[in-house]
Chain A
Amino acid sequence: MTRSKYLVLCGLCGAFALPAQAEMRPSLSFSGVTGLIDMPSGDQQSDGTLSVVKSQFGPIGRTTLSFQITPRLSGSFRYSSVKDWFNPPEDGITTYSDRSFDLRYQLTSEGRYVPAITVGLQDIIGTGVQSGEYIAATKTFGDRVKVTAGLGWGRYGSYGSIGSPFGTRPTVDFGEGGTLRTGQWFRGEMAPFAGIEWKVNEQWAVKAEYSSDAYVEEAENRATFERNSPFNFGVEYTTKTNMRLGLYSLYGSKIGFSVQLALDPKQNPRGGSRGPGPLPVTASAAAKSWGPNWVNDRGAQTAMRDQTQAILKRDGITIESMAINANRVHLRIRNTKIANAPQAIGRTARALSATMPASVSSFEIVAMAQGVPLSNVVIRRADLEALEFAPGADLTMDQRVQILPVAAALPEGAIRTDGLYPRFNWGLTPYVATSLFDPGKPLQANIGLRLTARYDIAPGWVFSTSIAKPLYEGIERSTFPSNSKLPHVRSDSNLYTINGDPAVERLTLAWYAKPAPELYTRVTVGYLERMYGGISGEVLWQQPDKPYALGAEVNYVKQRDYDQLFGFRDYSIVTGHISGYYSFGGGYHAQLDVGRYLAGDYGATLALDREFANGIKVGAFATLTDVPFDTFGEGSFDKGIRISLPMSFFTGAQTQKVSKLTLRPLLRDGGARLSVDGRLYDTVRTYQESDLDAAWGRFWR
């Protein structure tokens, strides 16, 4: 309400309208989900928000990664540790560590009278030590006070119970973990919890809550801390950059802190993309004159290509070839700098408007990757001129362009750019390699230098390598060597890390080709990844106007020596998959891989991703194979979370660098896949209709 007052006030004083800052941004709890201090709330984060919370009180520490999957559904992955848990120590370890996964669904969003109500399931597939369910309701009063009340089961029903309305909570043998325990949900003792948050001003907030978590195992059974009171209090400070820092009094005995980081993909930290504006569109009436006979004059055509290249150089776009006739130009480009594909196409189209003779009415722009053309984006020159200043021009333009399949063969009369092959690139960058969740030392890291080099011999032929030299070796030999009953296809990873100095992570020759306009192929030979070498072949069928693609991959690989130089171990295997890719629209994507995995097991992997046109991607995957859960070992099956963060989003600069993170609670041998570089789908899809449509807003940028 004060929001409108604030804006009216600003209207009067002539300042500018601001986004709705006055609202209370939902805060995150100690468990890393939207909530109060140690209790959850009925709120959700803004759609698409990715958050990390690090919290600690007394012996209890938690690090939680959460993602708002849809406006109502969110998921969290948590690593928690409790000090002094094992007394006497087990295997020399006193700290208990655990991973857990939560899902929350918001039943109602907050209205005038209706509170926000959320149902949460905590620790649904882990070992169940953290497990609990809750329903929480949150209502905002004015714009500074939020009140939450809820009912909890499991952990959240362990203090101040008011009964067991849905029967007793069955004890579950969690075995190796990793399976759903639906039978426990909302069973057993139920207890109420409540709390209040008061926003003092834009920076400071104060919180108080009544917790229904008795910490039975941590406080009563193992005496890792004293739980003297159910009341928690805290004060939180929000920095200008939307980071929150909290200091709390917990359970009448401990001081705790939390650091909350939230990243909303809709809020660009730089406001938007930076960098110079484009070359304005040149009217064809004012087009360059190239004499009467340019159609047959290779010299004039070469000059046209060179002038176009001179304009595009600034945007990191290289022309590979150009074919031109009286009314059409077919330009093949390589975009090395601009992350947004439609923006690169838009810049290319404007450059053509400045250099092409007036009769050339159709621009065919073909993006290339690894020497292979991806699609043919056909733009009418008249549309470019008519829409440059039109309101909502991106949508109109998107409707008028055509995206067509393109064959590898060049059109007749194409002029290739000389001197593009062979081409050598190299880079030397620092790296951090981490080892997570080792029971003894949950977070270790190596720091070193990585040399990468790439030699493009001819279109489609790439020789490349990556060599890592650790300079600081914080990762130690694990005191828990693999006890896997399967061939140790991944679980000896630690041995590779501690023995690779220097490590030839990759040394490959790859051949990319396009035998038909909608068919892409790859063959890679050599040391494919740090643990395997051999040969890998892949085929992808992708039509430009379809939201799906189909692929197949077959590899014959041999396990490499731990030192990651040139030797091999005895284990070899034929592995491969049939893959289906589907874009549901709205940024939701699915991938299904069915085939044979590295340990010789057969099964399928399903991956679901939420993607944004700015390049941020968050997804989860799970693999079920014919390996029984007790043979697989802890975790029962392979699963994890994957995140891509493009640097351009954070810096606003034109760069295609992306930080990728794959987080697995456990890395074991079942359901393990080869990690070969240059898989086709990710490269090809960028210039197909569904990806171009999603990112088209920047065509005119």
Chain B
Amino acid sequence: MTLRRSLLILTAAVSLAACNAAAVKTAASKLLGPSASPAVKPAAGAPQIWLTLVSRGIKFPMTQISQRDGVTIYASKDGAQVFLRNGILIGTRGFGRDLMSADAPSPATLRAGSPHQRSYYDLDGTDTTIRHVFTCKVERDAAAGNAIAEACAADIGTIRNQYWFDSAGSVSKSRQWVSQGVGYAAVERKDG
């Protein structure tokens, strides 16, 4: 009759799962928790950005740790990362439901105002890759400082990315969708 583990443990584990979802918000100011140690120490004086996770209401600096094949990787102090290709977000690591990869438009496509398709790849809870294909059109956002807005629709809903370009034609500021679990990330160059 004796069983080493029981329904009780399962119940506990299930309720643990339930509790943890609530705990995310309170731990939000620290993305990864105390035990995290980053993969790379950035070089002194490396370029920095501000990253804001809009739905979590947290903002933190990230420092460039790598640049290869036109993609720049920035890392936070606790090791979370974003991948930007010419300012366009193509990946995150350590944010929860991460953007694993993306088929994203180039800044030129956006500035030209061309309609396009883009794909976001993320992982569901079973670690299965899910591809979300969005159909997008590009419009001027006069109300938001003449930003270029990318309005996209897919079966999971609609999103709206915004990009602000500097005089040299580079993305200086943006607000880009990451995933259903993370929401929007706002990216800004950090001066100095």
Assuming the A-B contacts A16-B159, A277-B94, are A391 and B121 also in contact, with contact meaning beta carbons closer than 8 angstroms in the complex? yes
- Contact partner, B129, options A242, A268, A275, A394, Cβ 8 Å: A394
Give the interface centre of A393, A643, A700 by most chain B CB atoms within 10 Å. Answer: A700
* Total A-B pairs, Cβ < 8 A: 270
B83's nearest neighbour on chain A, judged by CB, is A389
Flag if A432 contacts B18 (CB, 8 Å): no
Q: How far does the Cβ of B169 sit from chain A's closest Cβ, in whole Å? A: 21
Chain B residues whose CB sits within 8 angstroms of the CB of A20 once the complex forms: 156
Chain A residues whose CB sits within 8 angstroms of the CB of B123 once the complex forms: 272, 697-698, 701
Flag if B20 contacts A276 (CB, 8 Å): no
- Contact partner, A653, options B19, B35, B71, B158, Cβ 8 Å: B35
Q: How far does the Cβ of B175 sit from chain A's closest Cβ, in whole Å? A: 8
Give the interface centre of A241, A433, A663 by most chain B CB atoms within 10 Å. Answer: A241
Flag if A433 contacts B19 (CB, 8 Å): no
**Is A279 interfacial (CB-CB < 8 Å)?**
yes
- Contact partner, B127, options A7, A392, A436, A695, Cβ 8 Å: A695
Assuming the A-B contacts A18-B157, A52-B14, A434-B8, are A390 and B21 also in contact, with contact meaning beta carbons closer than 8 angstroms in the complex? no
Chain A residues whose CB sits within 8 angstroms of the CB of B40 once the complex forms: 279-280
**Those of B19-49 within 8 Å (CB) of chain A:** 19-22, 24, 31-33, 35-40
Chain A residues whose CB sits within 8 angstroms of the CB of B127 once the complex forms: 340, 612-614, 695, 697-698
Assuming the A-B contacts A277-B81, A436-B1, are A241 and B55 also in contact, with contact meaning beta carbons closer than 8 angstroms in the complex? no
Total contacting residues, chain A, CB less than 8 A: 95
**Those of B67-119 within 8 Å (CB) of chain A:** 68-69, 71, 73, 75, 78-81, 83, 85, 90-91, 93-98, 100-103, 119
Flag if A8 contacts B158 (CB, 8 Å): yes
Chain A residues whose CB sits within 8 angstroms of the CB of B10 once the complex forms: 52, 65, 643, 645, 659, 661
Interface 1/0 per residue, B147-164 and A, CB below 8 Å: 000010000111110000
Chain B residues whose CB sits within 8 angstroms of the CB of A667 once the complex forms: 1-3
- Contact partner, B180, options A19, A50, A393, A662, Cβ 8 Å: A19
**Which of the four size classes fits the interface of chain B?**
35 or more
- Contact partner, A613, options B7, B128, B131, B181, Cβ 8 Å: B128
**Is A620 interfacial (CB-CB < 8 Å)?**
no
Interface 1/0 per residue, A254-288 and B, CB below 8 Å: 00000001111111111110111111110100000
Instruction: State A11–B81 Cα separation when bound (angstroms).
Output: 27
**Is B66 interfacial (CB-CB < 8 Å)?**
yes
Instruction: State A630–B90 Cα separation when bound (angstroms).
Output: 65
Chain A residues whose CB sits within 8 angstroms of the CB of B157 once the complex forms: 7, 10-11, 17-19
**Given A388-B68, A436-B2, 6 extra CB contacts under 8 A:** A63-B7, A272-B97, A434-B9, A496-B2, A661-B9, A697-B123
- B-side residues, CB < 8 A to A, are 1-11, 13-22, 24, 31-33, 35-40, 54-55, 65-66, 68-69, 71, 73, 75, 78-81, 83, 85, 90-91, 93-98, 100-103, 119, 121-129, 131, 151, 156-160, 177, 180-184
